[in-house]
Amino acid sequence: MSDQGTTLTEAQLSAVEAELAQDGVWVADQLRDQVSPAQEQQIEDAVASSSAPAYVTLARLDHDDPLTSGSPADLARIIHLDTGRDGHYLGVPSYGDLRVEVTSFPDQSADWYASALAEEEHPGDLTAQVLTTLDLLGDPAAAREQYNQTHPEPGGPPDPTDPIGTGTGGAPTPWLLGGGLLVLTVVAAVVFDRRRRRRRTPVASAVEGRSLVLPVTVLGTVRAAEDRRREDEALAAVLGLGEAIDAAELRANRDEVRRAWQAALDHYDVASRILHRDHTPADAVGALVLARRGHEAMAAALARKGWTPARPCYFNALHPAAARRVSWSESGSKSGSEAGSGSESGRAEVSVEVPACPACADAVRAGREPADILDFLAHGVPRHYFTLDLGAWSESGYGALDTDLLARLLAFRGHD
């Protein structure tokens, strides 16, 4: 058998779901040497005559499969979420000997006994295991009884409702065999979040529909190259965050850790949506800021810590985090409405306290304008971003004045 597992794109998943709707069985090409068309027909017949709905997905999923991470239980949950069809989902673990694993909706923890007995009766024979499992699932209590009679253990049989094996008197639970350590309850939540991440409606397409302040036609060559570089950087950061989220196995479930994880997902959502719609160079910088924050939130969650967003440098959110506050008055914004559609910020002549990175803080305190203030072209003229109407970006200083950047984005969306 090939070591190469099966991976599923969303389109392939839809095809699998369609096939399951038709006859209840999907066999991946990779397992065709184990399940012939005639055997598949046998399984389809058994599914058709089983007392409860059953869906059989026969594939060795790859550990790197972004949808399932190689888990047949994850695949079952995803299909169940998509289709809403209750029943027994039979799959194949990605590791160890060929065997059947059952995930049921509603959950029936006794199902484990059916597949365990089937494996003992027909080691290495996947079709026979599926048929036996389907048969035993018709009477789970009898399967449990049969298993207990053939496995008298001092500590009792493994408790399938105790996936991390804390209460089984030392007997390894089936989930631990083969090294596939999964904390199932948390994985369920993560899988759901992965799907939600992909499918939910926009939380904040905050900048969608806002007038474009920056006329692209006057972008100079240097400026265009700089914008492209930031755009590329933002795309890479967002892609990297998405991949990291997919690869992550969250093992803690304290509230603050869950909130950090949720923050990572939300930041990914918003950053991704910004980049996948028409957007300005200012939006690309915002997406990059969001992606970096998302990475930080995820790192905190994986370290089982809570997460509080760091306050960025007001002068350029891509600078190192703010170290101290300085007093700043922006004179540039007094020069009228050159910025086009936007109303001026009104901060023009007022000195404000703003957080600044060490270099910018040093400059301001020395009476100089910080080098490398984030600016964008407005009618061909570079302008400091905080003098332009860039919605939540300029209002919050990309999170420097209000670290709850997502809330600000949502608020602006509400005003559109």
The residues near 107 (Cβ < 8 Å, ≥ 6 apart) are: none
Residue numbers 316-345 binding Zn ion by CB under 5 A? 319
Binding mask 354-383 toward Zn ion (x if CB under 5 A, else -) reads ---x--x-----------------------
Part of the chain binding Zn ion (CB under 5 A), chosen from 35-43, 204-212, 293-301, 352-360: 352-360
If phi over 0 gives left and psi between -120 and 50 gives alpha, with beta otherwise, what is residue 234?
alpha
Residue numbers 173-212 binding Zn ion by CB under 5 A? none
Instruction: Give the distance from CA 381 to its chain's centroid.
Output: 39
Name residue 57's beta-bridge partners: 26
Part of the chain binding Zn ion (CB under 5 A), chosen from 137-145, 171-179, 280-288, 311-319: 311-319
Q: Are 133 and 118 in contact (CB under 8 A)?
A: yes
Part of the chain binding Zn ion (CB under 5 A), chosen from 24-32, 71-79, 338-346, 350-358: 350-358
Q: Does 43 bind Zn ion (CB under 5 A)?
A: no
Part of the chain binding Zn ion (CB under 5 A), chosen from 108-116, 199-207, 313-321, 396-404: 313-321
* CA geometry: angle 243, 247, 250, nearest 5 deg: 125
CA distances from 70 to 57, 66, 140, 180, 285 (A): 13, 9, 26, 10, 35
Give the shortest CB-374-to-Zn ion separation in angstroms.
Answer: 9
Name residue 92's beta-bridge partners: 60
With DSSP H G I counted as helix, E B as strand and the rest as coil, what are the percentages for the chain, rounded to 5?
50, 10, 40
| Residue given tokens 């058998």 in the structure block | 1
Name the residue nearer to Zn ion (CB basis): 156 or 320: 320
Give the shortest CB-56-to-Zn ion separation in angstroms.
Answer: 58
Give the shortest CB-317-to-Zn ion separation in angstroms.
Answer: 9
Give the shortest CB-342-to-Zn ion separation in angstroms.
Answer: 23
Exactly one of 268, 307, 315, 393 binds Zn ion (CB under 5 A); that residue is: 315
Nearest-Å Rg of the Cα atoms of the chain is 28
Q: Does 311 bind Zn ion (CB under 5 A)?
A: no
Name the residue nearer to Zn ion (CB basis): 24 or 355: 355
| Residue given tokens 């006994």 in the structure block | 113
